[in-house]
Amino acid sequence: MRFDVIILGSGPGGYIAAIRAAQLGMKTAVVEKESVGGVCLNWGCIPTKSLLNSAKILQSIKKNGELFGIKNEDIEINYSKILYKSRKIVDKIKKGVLFLMKKNGIHIIYGNALLKKRKKIEIFQNERSIGEYSASHIIIATGAIPKMNANIQYDRKKIITYKDALSLSSLPKKMIIIGSGSIGLEFAYFYHSMGTKVTVIEVCSKLYPNGDDDISDYLKYYFDKIGIKNYVSSNINQITYNNENNEVMVEIKTSSLKNIILKAEMILYAIGVVPNIKHIGLKEIGVQTEKGFVVVDENYRTNINGYYAIGDVIKTPSLAHVASYEAINCIENIKGLNCQKIDYNNVPKCVRSDPEIASVGYTEKESKEKGFHVKVAKFPFNALGRAISDENTDGFVKVIFDDKYDEWLGCHMIGNHVTDLIPEVVVARKLEATSHEVLGSIHPHPSLSESIIESIANAYGKAIHL
């Protein structure tokens, strides 16, 4: 069977590309080896946010229930119901995606795809070929898989990945999380909230390695305050099992070169993800890769005519919303439409732990390294009326502006609902709004969004409430 476009993978890159292609009149097929929606829907973005929402409700009642006149005695956690809710939400959204694909006439092919020359693919089910398909355009959107330590044996009981962490049969009393990117931080908060004693180990010198220094420092202070142990600049020397006590022991070397032995029921490896491009035939058809990523041009074309790649398989931020925008751009470029290029320096990055973290643009350090003379200011949530009334005053908003041209270089937030605040900054930066233009935009009171206005005002010595 022949199509105009075949897409490998149905995650937030693949299914968005398929729908946009169908909207533009292209005969479209998607190849999926497991479940429609990819990792994001089935084992990533969606189920983790459901779990985190349960954790936040629990912690809100525990922390502030009495203040709001709500009795918080004898709170019980039904962990199996929390897991059930997350899977139910996944199923609901998956049905929605399937409906959209059916509505748009998209053909779904289940199986493993092997790329062939002359714009063909062969599909395998249970290692048995079920036939070949061809298309004018083939898009690789196979996403990412957990990054593994080659020296570690993942038994999925004592040593696990994020996929295992989403479906544990019971809550561990102690857990060690290796890696403090968004995956590690979100799971650290969730399991801590459920009553697990959590320890986070990070090889970098900052608890939030890719974030602004002030955000990372505040996060470390907050984790220390609520009892999530953490070690930065720490390397793992050895992992051993103690079968008698049903424990895993981790020996780490800290920045002070001191060796520490930690014990837990299980270890969650959250050291990142890598492109899922093995065994799909890239080498055989000559598609160029570099350091594990598919090489593409600005229109997501590989070096082989008719083959494209988007999302986590290329060297752009491994984020669902990035993959979705790349999907639309890729399809519209195929159709010859004049679409806007993605500004990868204006991509919001979010961590939905508690406190949440959100950022866009350059950090303060990066701004200075690039030669900008900067104006920098923060505004704490403990000075904001809405945050005070919510009894949730942890964190702050930090803004960075170029002193010469008043360009908004970056914004970094940590606190309640900041992942819902960051789009305002993304839009303002997209429109090249100056600080004075944003200050002239009235924000509702009381609202958390006032923190953005107050932080900008503080950068120019105009803050009212500080």
Distance CA 442, CA 444 (A): 7
Catalytic residue among 373, 436, 445, 465: 445
Residue 231 near residue 252, CB atoms below 8 Å: yes
Task: Give the SS3 label for residue 432.
Answer: coil
Query: What is the side-by-side strand order in the sheet with 349-351?
Result: 349-351, 356-361, 408-415, 395-402, 374-380
Pairwise CA distance, residues 284 & 158, whole Å = 38
CB 323 within 8 A of CB 311: yes
Distance CA 41, CA 107 (A): 20
The values of phi and psi at residue 274, to 5°, are -130, 155
Q: What are phi and psi of 85, to 5 degrees?
A: -60, -40
How far is residue 30's CA from residue 7's CA, in Å, rounded to a whole number?
A: 5
Determine the Cα–Cα distance for residues 454 and 449; give it in Å rounded to an integer. 9
Contact 352, 49 (CB under 8 A): yes
Is 445 noted as a catalytic residue in this protein? yes
Cα dihedral angle (28, 136, 26, 140), rounded to 10 degrees? Answer: 50
Strand ranges (DSSP E) for 284-407? Answer: 289-290, 293-294, 307-309, 349-351, 356-361, 374-380, 395-402
The SS3 of residue 94 is helix
Helix/strand/coil for 29: strand
Name beta bridge partners: 242.
Answer: 247
* Distance between CA atoms of residues 90 and 96, nearest Å: 10
For residue 224, what are its two tokens? Answer: 């220390």
Q: Which residues share a beta bridge with 356?
A: 415
Cis check: omega of the bond before 146, within 30 degrees of 0: no
* Cα–Cα dist 37/46, whole Å: 10
Across the beta sheet with 197-201, the strand order is: 159-160, 266-269, 174-178, 197-201, 229-231
Catalytic positions are 445
